Structures are given as structure tokens and as C-alpha cells.
């Protein structure tokens, strides 16, 4: 019984640390891209559309591991049954 509780605590701890890391990475990417966009606007150059697209992809990529894990858990539950 105590082993199950410890396992649950470790899982929730890892998930919270992972979430914090993803949020920090998203803020870092967003801040870096925003600084680049402001620099381009101040210099009078145009912002490339690919810069917008790739910055969005980079932020989305931060959250892929969590959502992929959720999808795989759902598939596992469907295939093997369970709670």
C-alpha cells in the first residue's frame, strides 16, 4: 500500500516538473521571438511569415510529449481495459 502511494507521488512530481519546464520553454521561445520581431520592426524590415509559423511550431513542440503521453494512455486503456 505504501509503495503505491510513493509511486503516485513520484509520478505527480515528475509531471509537475515537466509542466514547469514546458511553460518556461514556451515563455523563453515566445520572448525570444518577440524580441526578434521588435528588432525587425525597429530596423524597418519586414517580418517573415515563416518566422511566425516556426515560432508557433516551436511552442507547440514543447507540449507534444504531454499530449502524446495522454493519447497513448487512452489507447492503452481502450486496448487493455482498466480505469
d(CA 74, CA 3): 24
Kind and range of the H or E run holding 19: helix 2-43
When pLDDT is cut at 50, 70 and 90, the band that residue 61 belongs to is confident
Cell matching residue 18: 515537466
Nearest of 31, 21, 11, 30 to residue 63 by alpha carbon: 21
d(CA 29, CA 19): 15
Supply the pTM of this predicted model.
0.58
Q: Over 60: is that where the pLDDT of 2 sits?
A: no
Amino acid at each position: 500500500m505504501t509503495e503505491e502511494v510513493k509511486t503516485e507521488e513520484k509520478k505527480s512530481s515528475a509531471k509537475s516538473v515537466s509542466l514547469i519546464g514546458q511553460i518556461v520553454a514556451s515563455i523563453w521561445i515566445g520572448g525570444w521571438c518577440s524580441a526578434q520581431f521588435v528588432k525587425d520592426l525597429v530596423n524597418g524590415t519586414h517580418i517573415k511569415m515563416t518566422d511566425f509559423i516556426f515560432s508557433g511550431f516551436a511552442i507547440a513542440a514543447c507540449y507534444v510529449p504531454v499530449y502524446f503521453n495522454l493519447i497513448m494512455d487512452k489507447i492503452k486503456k481502450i486496448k487493455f481495459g482498466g480505469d
